[in-house]
Structure 1
Amino acid sequence: MISIVHLLCWLVTIFIKEVCSSPVDYDERYLNCSVPFNCGRNSYIQYPFWGGSRAEYCGRAGYHLECLNNDTTVIEINSLEYKVLEVYQETQTLRIARLDYMDTVCPSNYSDSILDLNLFDYTPDTLNLTIFYGCTSTRMQIVKTQFQFTCGGTNLNGCFDVSRNEAEEVPLPGPAKCRWRVVVPIPEVDAERLESGSSTLSDVLRNGFEAKHHVNMSQCMECGKSGGSCGFDQLLQRPTCFCYDGPRRQGHCPYRPPSGTYVPIYVPTYTFNIQFDSIRFDSC
């Protein structure tokens, strides 16, 4: 006569075979947001950024990244495009440079480089570089030669000045002296090199400046530790944690993906621990 214990073991064995033979139905959002943004030298970029193969729900509005020619990461801030030179995820900081200044000091857009303070903050060592365009010969005569430049192929002369106060802007000279003014943030160390003549204006503009995003990453870290993928609920306007079986608003996943983990199965009087890499019976 078959004992109750052996019968239970047989039933559980059949159940395990059925479970293991059935593919796990992973949540599409979990899979999508598990894939980082990669472009050129910038790799493994995750929340709050999205773009490329990462859907919009994997990040937040204003943190969209684009990959140009498979090697240039671009982000748009206040209608200006910036090349992302470095990503320091530990400090939530990007080093960015205006895309239209990468090959010339004379762009077609004379707009100031101003961060969206709802998304990014300037780092403490940031100074303002003010670049003047279309300056008269009278104006150019009173500017040191090292602070002058000429736009190639044109008669457009220019000069620049550095503000030692982060919030201060160098006033535009009278309309008869210079036609346009552009303010660009630069690190203090680059300002010193520019003033000493050890770096050129082109070098400093290509080197860019740092911008720190101020997204609270604590919930995202908890989500990642629990095996989930960070995302953002556009409807509720708050972070969410995409787990393999669906989203969790509490910020972490109650269970990790089944592969290689123990899943408790309770049968009256007996408890079995099942590991999907191997099967072990505590009783029987």
Structure 2
Amino acid sequence: MNSSVFSFLSDFVFLLLLFIQIPSSLSNDDRYTACRKDFVCGGGIPVGFPFWGNGRPSACGIPELELKCDHEKNITTMNINKVAYRVLEINPEFKTLWIAREDYLAGLCPPQFPSSTFNPKILEPVEGIRNFTLIYGCEDAPKTIPGPRTFNCKIKDVDGQSGYIKEGVNGPGECNRSVIVPVSDFPPWNTPVFEWNVETLKGQLKTGFVVRWKVNMDLCGECSTSGGVCGIVNDTNQTTCHCPDQSSGSKPCAPPAPTPIPPPGMHSPPEISL
């Protein structure tokens, strides 16, 4: 190939790659503009920090609090410790999330069997939550378990294996798997224990439960008052204040520099027309 043609093509490719990368780098640096956008899905309440996702980059929220939006169904979901949850309500005033496990919305036989766990530094169940254990893959349910609390599921491609429900946090015992699920402690769970059954639990799992996010929002109030927007530093996951001048830091945004006023008696010289 002619050296001049090769040189021209090399320069062209370099310039093309440069222009492709510039918008990306600018969007990453422009955290203030990006984090000013709220997360909105369907008719839900717009939310900002500590959440991110759906147009809000990771610098806008806590890593564990990514929200996803199914725009066709207007459904908000999130993953917490490898478990998918439907977000039913977000209350920024009380810092609470009302969530329900996606895998149990269709019944008690999910394809995977992870228990519900939470990072205590980020999320905590509110008062009024009760844990139940779903136990799977038993040859026979214990005779001490009432019939209304037993069910059948396919485990490891084996049909008709028995499962049963126990209140509290329990292991699988002689069975195959156990899954711990929290439910809200409101009716019918305030009825006598002997009255609840499998159908009751199915309904409660669809109703969901409430957790509270444990994120210090003190800086965010000062940041917002100063004209900034709250976010995090990706490398350290520390709360920071993104400012209109695109700077970030642990303090509120600095006020704009005042416009200098000339001292009395000093005026701009008159224009001289020629």
Please say whether Structure 1 and Structure 2 have the same fold, judged by a TM-score greater than 0.5: yes
89 and 255 in structure 1: CA distance in 2 versus 1, 3 angstrom threshold:
same
What amino acid maps onto 1:66 in structure 2? Answer: K
Which SS does the other structure have where 1:203 is aligned?
A: helix
Distance 1:192 1:130, change over 3 A: farther
Alignment of 1:1-284 (within 5 A): 28-70=30-72, 71-137=74-140, 139=142, 141-151=143-153, 154-163=159-168, 169-173=169-173, 175=174, 178-189=175-186, 191-192=189-190, 195=193, 196-197=195-196, 200-255=200-255, 264-269=259-264
RMSD of equivalent CA atoms: 2.9
1:191-219 CA distance string (max 9 Å, x none): 33594349622111112222222110010
Change (3 A) 1:122 1:264: same
CA contact (8 A) 1:194 1:204 kept: no
State the 1:151 CA deviation: 4.0
Does the C-alpha gap of structure 1 residues 138 and 238 become closer, same or farther in structure 2, counting only changes over 3 Å? Answer: closer
SS in structure 1 at match of 2:261: strand
Inter-partner Cα distance in structure 2 for 1:269 and 1:48? 50
What does residue 3 of structure 2 align with? none
In 1, Cα distance between the equivalents of 2:123 and 2:34? 25
Q: Between Structure 1 and Structure 2, how many residues are aligned?
A: 231
Rounded to whole Å, the distance in 2 between the matches of 1:47 and 1:156 is: 45
Over residues 6-32 of structure 1, what are the superposed CA-to-partner deviations in whole Å (9 max), with x where a residue is unaligned? Answer: xxxxxxxxxxxxxxxxxxxxx832221
Note the C-alpha offset of 1:43: 2.8
Fraction of identical pairs, as percent: 30
Aligned 8 A contact 1:59 1:232 in 2: yes
Whether the 8 Å CA contact 2:115–2:179 is kept in 1: the answer is yes
For the Cα contact (< 8 Å) 2:141–2:150, is it kept in 1? no
Amino acid at match of 1:186: V
Cα distance in 2 between the residues matched to 1:57 and 1:248: 11
Q: Deviations over 1:152-209 (max 9, x none)?
A: 994233221222xxxxx23434x2xx32211111222253359434962211111222
Paired amino acid for 1:99: E
Q: Is the 8 A contact 1:37 1:52 kept in 2?
A: yes
TM-score, normalisation: structure 1: 0.71
Contact 1:241/1:249 (8 A) holds in 2: yes
Contact 1:240 1:247 in 2 (8 A): no
* Alpha-carbon distance in 2 for matches of 1:79, 1:138: 28
CA distance in 2 between partners of 1:134 and 1:235 (Å)? 43
Q: The residue matched to 1:100 in structure 2 has which SS?
A: helix
CA contact (8 A) 2:115 2:181 kept: yes
Q: What amino acid maps onto 1:150 in structure 2?
A: N
Q: Distance in 1 between matches of 2:210 and 2:161?
A: 30
Gaps of 5+ in 2: 1-28, 266-274
Tell me, which stretches of 5 or more residues in structure 1 are unaligned? Answer: 1-26, 164-168, 257-262, 271-284
Does the aligned pair in 2 maintain the 1:36–1:43 contact within 8 Å?
A: no
- Shift of residue 250 of structure 1? 4.4
